[in-house]
Amino acid sequence: MTGKRARETSHIVARKNMSGEKALIRIEAGLPDTVLWWLEQYFRFEVTTGESSRKVQRRDLQLFLDFMTEQENTDERVRWSPRLSKSFHDYLRRTKIEGERRWNDRTINRVMSHLKTFAKWVHRIRPFPLGDPVAKIKLQPVGVGLEIERALTPAERRKMLDAADLLLETGGRSRDRSRYRNSERPVNKSYRPFRNRAIVYALIETGMRRAAITNLNLSDINWKRRELTVTEKGGATHTYSISWEGLDAIRVYVEDERETDAAHWKSPALFLTAYMNPRAGERLSPRTINVVWNEISRTAGVEGRTPHSARHAMGKHIIERTGNIAAVQRQLGHKNAVYSMQYARITSDEIRDVIDNR
């Protein structure tokens, strides 16, 4: 082997490091090409979830590593084949303790989801000889889990956003049509149409929870990267991507309406209570988010949907566009891949549509 050949290097961009610069995985001749080595690089460069989630992922992936070492007497990456993955899947399904299965379908799906994400990452950087070894493994059907049936449909999403846009013209106006029969109905001075519009856009265009909306600070917005970083339930910090349309709705609120309330409250909160309501506090409550959502739902003629329906809709949208469970997990911040995996389920309406259109 020549000196040049021995020094051949491949640079792979993994993710941004803490300083915002590109973090590189440098693969040089002589480095161990084993599953264990790749596993360490995966947790070093790719995994960004909380510590508790990292422990679960590592435990699940260690199950496969132990299985492979026992079956192949090695953990060389090139020996990881689709047949080995299938054997591991079968092993999880048939292994019993005292006559009962050791792992239920939900746990098996979690393990295989983590393995799929890991294998896809490795395959993208250094392809396996026989292709992605877990790509064709099908996950087991599980119970209903998340209420996917209640996700906003694409048509409902359009209606909600249209109704939110109408707030700038009709929101907050007096309902007394008799009194103002011959004149324009006045607008309640404490009503904030730009804020309420931006809230609905943020819910629908990110999939974040109500509590995250109330926790958002103005400084949490990365306008250039179109990202909102917020403290979620449990104290974990998560970053949501947002569409251009959603970010623009927030920008308009900040530029045209927020300043009036910010001068009074002097609060870092992004969405502020109208300064005329001092007893309410500067941050909105989750209940207020419900009030805003329900008002726009009535205008849009959308029934039976909650702010969480927007979160479900984002999960379904991502899985339909990418087929990537890891992408759902990254956007919605699920610590457990099983929650993200359930967005791949088909709804009853979708089944009926398939049957009717043969």
Is 70 exceeded by the pLDDT of residue 316? Answer: yes
- Residue 87: its pLDDT value, please? 95
Percent of the chain with pLDDT over 90: 57
- Residue 176: its pLDDT value, please? 52
Q: By the 8 A CB rule, do 205 and 243 touch?
A: yes
Please state, in angstroms and rounded to a whole number, the distance separating the CA atoms of residues 224 and 335: 27
Is 50 exceeded by the pLDDT of residue 13? Answer: no
Q: By the 8 A CB rule, do 313 and 207 touch?
A: yes
E strand spans, the chain: 9-16, 22-28, 96-97, 100-101, 221-222, 227-231, 237-241
Is 80 exceeded by the pLDDT of residue 337? Answer: no
The predicted model gives 129-156 an average pLDDT of 79
Per-residue pLDDT reduced to its tens digit, 74-129? 999 999 999 999 999 999 988 887 667 788 888 899 999 999 999 999 999 999 99
Please state, in angstroms and rounded to a whole number, the distance separating the CA atoms of residues 140 and 227: 34
pLDDT band at 235 (very low <50, low <70, confident <90, very high): confident
Q: What are phi and psi of 179, to 5 degrees?
A: -65, -35
Bridge partners of 217?
Answer: 269
Name 209's Cβ contacts closer than 8 Å, sequence gap at least 6.
Answer: 232, 233, 307, 308, 311
Bridge partners of 181?
Answer: none
Is 60 exceeded by the pLDDT of residue 12? Answer: no
- Residue 200: its pLDDT value, please? 97
Place domain 148-173+184-352 in its CATH homologous superfamily.
Intergrase catalytic core (1.10.443.10)
Full-model pTM: 0.58
Give CA torsion, residues 319, 324, 326, 329, to 10 deg: 0
What tokens does 37 get? 């080595």
pLDDT band at 298 (very low <50, low <70, confident <90, very high): very high
pLDDT band at 267 (very low <50, low <70, confident <90, very high): very high
What tokens does 219 get? 């400084």
Q: What are phi and psi of 142, to 5 degrees?
A: -125, -175
- Residue 103: its pLDDT value, please? 86
Between strands 227-231 and 96-97, the pairing is: unpaired
CATH number belonging to domain 32-125: 1.10.150
Is 60 exceeded by the pLDDT of residue 190? Answer: yes
Is 50 exceeded by the pLDDT of residue 229? Answer: yes
Residue ranges of domains in the chain: 32-125, 148-173+184-352
Please choose, from the candidates 314, 100, 296, the residue with its C-alpha nearest in 3D space to the C-alpha of residue 206.
314
Please state, in angstroms and rounded to a whole number, the distance separating the CA atoms of residues 252 and 73: 61
Please state, in angstroms and rounded to a whole number, the distance separating the CA atoms of residues 43 and 25: 12
SS3 assignment, position 80: coil
pLDDT band at 169 (very low <50, low <70, confident <90, very high): confident
Is 70 exceeded by the pLDDT of residue 353? Answer: no
Per-residue pLDDT reduced to its tens digit, 15-69? 544 444 444 566 666 778 999 999 999 999 888 877 888 899 999 999 999 999 9
Percent of the chain with pLDDT over 70: 80
- Residue 168: its pLDDT value, please? 85
- Residue 358: its pLDDT value, please? 56
